[in-house]
A and B are shown apart, each in its own frame.
Chain A
Amino acid sequence: MNEMTPPKTERTAALKGLGTARKRVEDARFTQGKGNYVDDIKLPGMLFGDFVRSPYAHARIKSIDAEKAKALPGVIAVLTAADLAPLKLHWMPTLAGDVQMVLADGKVLFQGQEVAFVVAENRYIAADAVELVEVDYEELPVLVDPFKAEAPDAPVLREDLAGKSEGAHGPRRHHNHIFTWEQGDRDATEKVLASADVVAEEMVYYHRTHPCPLETCGCVASMDKVNGKLTVWGTFQAPHAVRTVASLISGIAEHNIRIISPDIGGGFGNKVGVYPGYICSIVASIVTGVPVKWVEDRMENLMATAFARDYWMKGRISATKDGRITGLWCHVTADHGAFDACADPTKFPAGFFNICTGSYDIPVAYLAVDGVYTNKAPGGVAYRCSFRVTEAAYFIERMIEVLAIKLGMDAAELRAKNFIRKDQFPYHSALGWEYDSGDYHTAWDKALKAVDYEGLRKEQAQRLEDFKAGKTRRLIGIGLTHFTEIVGAGPVKNCDILGLGMFDSCEIRIHPTGSAIARLGTISQGQGHATTFAQILASEIGIPADDITVEEGDTDTAPYGLGTYGSRSTPVAGAATAMAGRKIRAKAQMIAAYLLEVHDDDVEWDVDRFAVKGAPERFKTMKEIAFAAYNQAIPGIEPGLEAVSYYDPPNMTYPFGAYICVMEIDVDTGEHEVRQFYALDDCGTRINPMIIEGQVHGGATEGYAIAMGQEMAYDDMGNVKNATLMDFFLPTAWETPHYTTDFTVTPSPHHPIGAKGVGESPNVGSVPAFSNAVHDAFRSFGLTQTHMPHDHWRIWRTAHELGLHG
């Protein structure tokens, strides 16, 4: 190395690669209000669409009279199912193998369902015209309770499925039944439970809620009749999948469809599915020959666009007297609403719920999930979690607590006693997963020590004594959680959506002056891909992250991929990025060897350059190599420096974490105060610690919302009770707790850089931590289970029912 060469550490730091708390490059535009969202798109002559929606949850449509609406100046068209039927677009396939009405065909099945689509010259005229469309409804009996939906004499919701005893996921046993999904060994599990020392049984409900991204869903469809090309800008979490599905549905050749996801203001699973608004906008643009914009409002988003959760989870868990878990049994009644529109991989109608054995070594287990139809909005998306993983984590973390109560054991000790040990990985779970890696005991011990767990329990016991002595009206709850996630869907051998394999991709072009552009099949909705993917690449190819542009979301330019949800971007597209980078480096090595006049094997990689082995002063930097790649004739090597990688992961990744919540509860008002929240995450190799921390803060805040107040509730008539932000709880800075973040690092053995994904861990882990804290506060008064959300009224009611109000 000559004097002019900066030391390795300096050159590494200059790259801002893996492990650097690099500031988010996206924020320069977001913090200035210069983002470019769907609603910012304005095209000449653009029309606006708006829906007439059903006020009834279940009704027959006797007639639709749109004459007054059509007569309103500025109204271009009013579409109904009758108009879409000749195109066979009045129904559409869902991602779960079901079909869904685009516009009400004969009846409506949930409040807020799309009945007619008004197209007008501006948004205001469209809204006025919506009010002029007269729909004559005949009310039908409403089903909002999934258990009543399966009664023999329950009203038939889906008349289109009459006589169909076979659904997309096997036999249907009732007219409102969708599927039964079974995993594990039923006989063996029941045998173990029947002869166990201790069995704890509980119904755990994970209520219906909603991802509620700040930007609602919408699109601008533009059919160019001259060149036959359809362009759709939309809030799509999976633009390439949308293109393929749009082509299959519409018959337009795929090369004539261009899907663009611009900046997206949060997705959280809400923007994975296909909604009637997209279809209607596209049809309207094809019919009118001008662009059509549709953007839903907040009420429409909450009441009609994909909900999340709504799982009734009945569990039985068995153990020996000294607390060794011997078996787990679970039955889920899954309320899917009016259409099965879950966005799960095809072979997993209940997502990856079979991760519900959690972090524990449970020898036998059995799981059955029954999906049913009700008069509620369709959806069932993964709200900031991998497919149904939050439900699974909540279930097992509640069951552990219930078992601890039954055993009279400390819940932290019970967990530690049953964790899968480090030496058991790769671990095959009783419900069929191969956990790639983990070190749960290390994380757990670190977490307990960090919060001084023993000290907290002593303080809690003292507080309890003071409470009983009448000195205080506040109780302390300590909420423990150790979660294991399963993310990074996924291996094409078992993961596809509508037949589209769930690989992902990255394409890199190095420019002659040594900067680069990388395009991926994923799409950021706030995750910071432009920042972190550049960091992965910087470390792989020695070009500073600041000199790498990351681009996603335009199907005409980006390589094919299945998009961003289920924490799959880093595990899948991140791996593709590293692999494409390695292809670049392999070619760079040959170029460097030629330039240095040595054999390929005689040069070695050194941060940002190739140097001759044993002679570090003889080197070629990536900048020099890039220039040579384009501008120097090198025998046997074609010009240019580009690479593409399509990555099919060999396995999922299994991030895990230990979360502890300390909560004070006022018995008389039902109010709570999160005194401390400690979140330890192990997401394998850490790409950008600052982004990880931000993700944990955001995910834990969403978890806080869900556990402590957020819900989509329905009354008996099927009215949505929380369709505005007045009633739907979104925490602001005022309510949001303070978080302490921590980590351990257990790299994924099969991922090229050992990363596992982190965006969704905090939602998965925090919900049970908050809920367990509430339960724990009342444990000594005999509470075993009360359902979320734990809003002030419900906490007050719990205290009241336990006789704490004297």
Chain B
Amino acid sequence: MELKDEIRIEAPKHEVYAALNDPEVLKAAIPGCQELNKVSDTELEAKVALKVGPVKATFGGKVTLDTAGAPDRFLLTGEGSGGVAGFAKGGAEVELEEDGNATILRYAARADVGGKLAMLGGRLIASTAQKLAGQFFENFSAKVSAGRRIS
């Protein structure tokens, strides 16, 4: 499964990058996120409750960041397991580009899904993932630009 999109966030690039590294912002933005802890500068652990069609489960997972190209570009890889509901593993490439006072965020993600989740059929998973990603960036964008207005 592959996801690709770009969004415009009303905040300068360094703020967007900082927010992407802020567990509190991420926790608020990730749909269903119950826990998110920074283990080190490049490692995060998360617990996320998800519902895909009839499958509802809490996924425990680990995300590793590769920030070699930051703040223009960085890579994420991760895997998560939802017990009987199945598992997922994948990665994403995120690019940030300045556009005046705003930032264009582009992402390309790919994920392999297994277990009950996968059995539900690709069409349901792809559309759910697309929706979740959309929700995340909507929340994220709102959080980052709102924070900016307050300050």
**Interface 1/0 per residue, B103-139 and A, CB below 8 Å:** 0000000001111101111101000000000000000
Which residues does chain B contribute within 8 Å of A720, judged by CB atoms? Answer: 118-119
Q: In the complex, A395 Cα to B71 Cα: how many Å?
A: 60
**Cα of A650 to Cα of B124 in the assembled complex, Å:** 54
B84 touches which one: A57, A131, A718 (CB < 8 A)? A131
Q: Smallest Cβ distance from A137 to chain B, in angstroms?
A: 9
Mark the stretch among A48-56, A445-453, A463-471, A634-642 that contacts chain B: A48-56
Residues of B within 8 A of A717 (CB): 112, 114, 118
Complex alpha-carbon distance, A52 and B115, angstroms: 12
Interface size class of A (residues with CB under 8 A): 20 to 34
Contact indicator B84/A719 (Cβ below 8 Å) = no
* Chain A contacts for B114, CB-based, 8 A: 55-57, 111, 717-719
Q: Does B59 contact A (CB under 8 A)?
A: no
Q: Is A740 part of the binding interface, using a Cβ–Cβ cutoff of 8 Å?
A: no
Contacts A111-B114, A111-B115, A719-B113 given: A55-B84 contact, CB under 8 Å? yes
B window 71-118: CB within 8 A of A? 83-87, 112-116, 118
Query: A303: CB under 8 A from chain B?
Result: yes
Residue of B nearest to A115 (CB): B84
Whether B118 contacts A715 by the Cβ 8 Å rule is: yes
Q: What 0/1 readout, one digit per residue, does chain A (106-144) give for beta carbons within 8 Å of chain B?
A: 000001000000000000000000110110000000000
- A726→B121 contact, CB < 8 A: yes
A723 and chain B: residue at smallest CB distance: B119
**Chain A minimum-CB-distance residue to B83:** A131
Closest to B82 in A: A55
B125 to chain A, nearest CB (A): 10
User: Does A299 touch B at the CB level, under 8 Å?
Assistant: yes
Return A694 CB to nearest CB of chain B, in Å.
33
Closest chain B CB from A20 CB (angstroms): 47
A131 surroundings in chain B (CB, below 8 A): 57, 83-85
Beyond A55-B116, A717-B114, whether A722 also contacts B84 by CB under 8 A is no
**A727 — nearest CB in chain B belongs to which residue?**
B121
A131–B112 CA distance with the chains assembled, in angstroms: 21
Instruction: Choose one: A133, A134, A299, A718; the contact of B116 (CB below 8 Å).
Output: A299
Nearest A-chain residue to B56, judged by Cβ: A131
Q: Tell whether, in the assembled complex, residue A721 and residue B115 are in contact, meaning their CB atoms are under 8 Å apart.
A: no
Residue of A nearest to B116 (CB): A55
Q: Note all chain B residues with C-beta closer than 8 A to A55.
A: 84-87, 114-116
User: CA of A722 to CA of B112 in the docked complex: distance in angstroms?
Assistant: 17
- Is A247 interfacial (CB 8 A cutoff)? no
User: Are A719 and B118 in contact (CB-based, < 8 A)?
Assistant: yes
B86 — which chain A residues lie within 8 A by C-beta?
Answer: 55
Check A134/B83 contact, CB under 8 A, given A721-B122, A727-B121. Answer: yes
Residues in B with CB closer than 8 Å to A57 are 114
| Residues of chain A in range 295-330 having any CB-CB distance to chain B below 8 Å | 299, 303
- Does residue A515 face the partner (Cβ distance < 8 Å to B)? no
CB-CB < 8 A to A718: which residues of B?
114
Asked if A741 is an interface residue, CB under 8 A from chain B, the answer is no
Any chain B CB within 8 A of the CB of A621? Answer: no
B112→A53 contact, CB < 8 A = no
Residue of B nearest to A726 (CB): B121
Which residues on the B side are within 8 Å of A724 (C-beta)? 119-121
Closest to A56 in B: B114
From residue B64, how far is it (CB to closest CB) to chain A in Å? 18
The answer for the CA separation of A718 and B122 in the assembled complex, in Å, is: 14
Give the CA-CA distance A720 to B138 in the complex, in Å: 33
Interface pair A721/B119, CB less than 8 Å apart:
yes
CA distance A726 to B116 in the complex (A): 14
B105 to chain A, nearest CB (A): 30
In the complex, A303→B121 CA distance in Å? 13
State in angstroms the CA–CA spacing of A133 and B85 once bound together.
12
A711 to B86, CA, bound (A): 22
| Bound-complex Cα distance A715 to B85 (A) | 17
Question: In the docked arrangement, what's the CA distance between A133 and B116, Å?
Answer: 16
Considering the chains assembled together, what is the distance between the CA atoms of A715 and B117 in angstroms?
A: 13
Q: A719's closest neighbor in chain B, by CB?
A: B118
Distance, CA A308 to CA B58, complexed state (A): 35
CB neighbours of B118 from chain A (8 A): 715, 717, 719-721
In the docked arrangement, what's the CA distance between A299 and B86, Å?
A: 14
How far apart are the CA atoms of A715 and B122 in the complex, in Å? 10
Within 8 Å CB of B57, what residues of A?
131
Within 8 A of B (CB), among A41-72: 52-53, 55-57
Question: When the two chains form their complex, are residues B84 and A53 in contact, meaning their CB atoms are under 8 A apart?
Answer: yes
Bound together, the chains give a CA A134 to CA B60 distance in angstroms of 12
Enumerate chain B residues within 8 angstroms of A130, measured Cβ to Cβ.
84
B120 cross-chain contacts in A, Cβ below 8 A: 723-724, 726
The residues of A that contact B113 with a CB separation of less than 8 Å are: 719
A53-B85 Cα distance, complex, nearest whole Å: 10
B50-75 interface bits toward A, Cβ cutoff 8 Å, 1 = contact, 0 = none: 00000001000000000000000000
**Distance to closest chain A CB from B128 (angstroms):** 14
Q: Mark A373-415, 1 if CB is under 8 A from B, else 0.
A: 0000000000000000000000000000000000000000000
Q: Please, which residues of chain B bring their CB within 8 A of the CB of A299? A: 116, 119
CB of A439 to closest CB in B, whole Å:
47
Residue of A nearest to B122 (CB): A721
> B61 → chain A, closest Cβ, in Å?
14
Q: How far in angstroms is the closest Cβ of chain B from A285?
A: 24
Which residues of A sit under 8 angstroms from B84, Cβ to Cβ? 52-53, 55, 130-131, 133
B residues less than 8 Å from A721 (CB atoms): 118-119, 121-122
Residues of B within 8 A of A56 (CB): 87, 114-115
- Contacting pair B121 A722 (CB below 8 A): yes
Residue on A nearest B120 in the bound complex, by CB: A724
Q: How far is the CB of A744 from chain B (nearest CB, A)?
A: 44
* Alpha-carbon distance A299/B119, docked complex (angstroms): 8
A719 touching B119 by the CB < 8 A rule? Answer: yes
Minimum CB–CB distance from B24 to chain A (whole Å) comes to 29
Q: Which residue of A lies closest to B55 (CB)?
A: A299
Give min CB distance, B114 to chain A, whole Å.
Answer: 5
Q: Bound state CA distance, A568 and B87, in angstroms?
A: 44
Cα–Cα distance between A511 and B112 once the two chains are bound (Å): 67
- Which A residues are within 8 Å of any B CB, using their own CB? 52-53, 55-57, 111, 130-131, 133-134, 299, 303, 715, 717-724, 726-727
A-B contact pairs, 21 of them (CB 8 A): A55-B84, A55-B114, A55-B115, A55-B116, A56-B114, A56-B115, A111-B119, A131-B83, A133-B83, A133-B84, A134-B83, A303-B119, A718-B114, A719-B113, A719-B114, A720-B119, A721-B118, A724-B119, A724-B121, A726-B124, A727-B121
B-side residues, CB < 8 A to A, are 57, 83-87, 112-116, 118-122, 124
Closest 4 CB pairs of A and B: A55-B115, A719-B118, A723-B119, A727-B121
**New contact pairs (8) apart from A55-B87, A56-B87, A723-B120, CB-CB < 8 Å:** A53-B84, A55-B114, A55-B115, A719-B119, A720-B118, A721-B118, A723-B119, A724-B119
